[in-house]
Chain A
Amino acid sequence: MNCREYKGGLIELARGGEAFEAERHAESCPDCARFLDQQLVLTELQRTIAVDAAPPVDLEARLITEFVLSRRRPRRWARVAAGAVAAGAIAASLFFAWFERPKPAPKPVTARIQFPAPVPVAQAAPKPEPVRQRKHPKGRQEAEAPFLQIPYTQALEPWERAEVVRMEMPVAALIAAGFPVETADTTAEASADVIVGEDGRARAVRLISISERSIRR
Chain B
Amino acid sequence: MELLRRFREGDRDAFTTIYRAHHPAVFRFALHMTCDRDKATEVTQEVFVWLIHHAEDYDPARGELGAFLFGVTRKFLQRSRRNESRFVPFDESFETSAPAPPDDSEAVELRRAIAALPERYREAVVLCDLEGKSYEEAAVLLECALGTVRSRLHRARELLGKKLRAQQRCSV
Chain A residues with a Cβ closer than 8 Å to the other chain, count: 32
Taking a contact as CB atoms under 8 Å apart, the answer to whether B28 and A53 are in contact is yes
Contact of A63 among B24, B45, B154, B160 (CB under 8 A): B45
Establish whether residues B41 and A15, one from each chain, have CB atoms under 8 Å apart when the complex forms: no
**Residue among B32, B41, B110 making CB contact with A59, cutoff 8 Å:** B41
Q: Which of chain B's residues 115-150 have a Cβ closer than 8 Å to chain A? A: 125, 129-132, 150
Give chain B residues whose Cβ lies under 8 Å from the Cβ of A66. 49, 52
With contacts A7-B154, A66-B49, A76-B53 taken as known, whether A42 is within 8 angstroms of B161 at the C-beta atoms is yes
Residue in B40, B52, B132 whose beta carbon sits within 8 Å of that of A67 in the complex: B52
Q: Mark B11-23, 1 if CB is under 8 A from A, else 0.
A: 0100110011001
Give every chain A residue within 8 A of B131 (Cβ-Cβ). 50
Q: A13–B19 Cα gap in the complex (Å)?
A: 36
Contacts A46-B130, A49-B111; A63 near B164 (Cβ below 8 A): no
Min CB distance B80 to A, Å, is: 15
B66 on the interface (CB 8 Å rule)?
A: no
Is B16's CB under 8 angstroms from A64's CB? Answer: yes
User: Are A8's CB and B52's CB within 8 A?
Assistant: no
Q: Which residues of B contact A41 (CB under 8 A)?
A: 164
Whether the Cβ atoms of A53 and B129 lie closer than 8 Å is: no
Interface string of A6-20 (1 = CB under 8 A from B): 011001001100000
Question: Is B154 a contact partner of A8 (Cβ separation < 8 A)?
Answer: yes
Given contacts A38-B165, A39-B157, A54-B27, contact A64 B44 (CB under 8 A): no
**Is A101 interfacial (CB 8 A cutoff)?**
no
The closest CB in chain A to the CB of B20 belongs to: A60
A43 to B, closest residue via Cβ: B129
CA distance A41 to B168 in the complex (A): 12
Residue of B nearest to A77 (CB): B56
One digit per residue, 1 when the CB lies within 8 angstroms of any chain A CB and 0 when it does not, for chain B 36-61 equals 00001100110011001100000000
Report chain B residues within 8 Å CB of A120. Answer: none
In the bound complex, do residue A59 and residue B164 qualify as a contact, i.e. CB atoms below 8 Å apart?
no
Measured CB to CB, the closest approach of chain B to A166, in angstroms, equals: 70
CB atoms of A55 and B164 under 8 A apart:
no
CB-defined contacts of B106 to chain A, threshold 8 Å:
45
Chain B residues in the interface with A (C-beta under 8 A): 10, 12, 15-16, 19-20, 23-24, 27-28, 31-32, 40-41, 44-45, 48-49, 52-53, 106-107, 110-111, 125, 129-132, 150, 153-154, 157-158, 160-161, 164-165
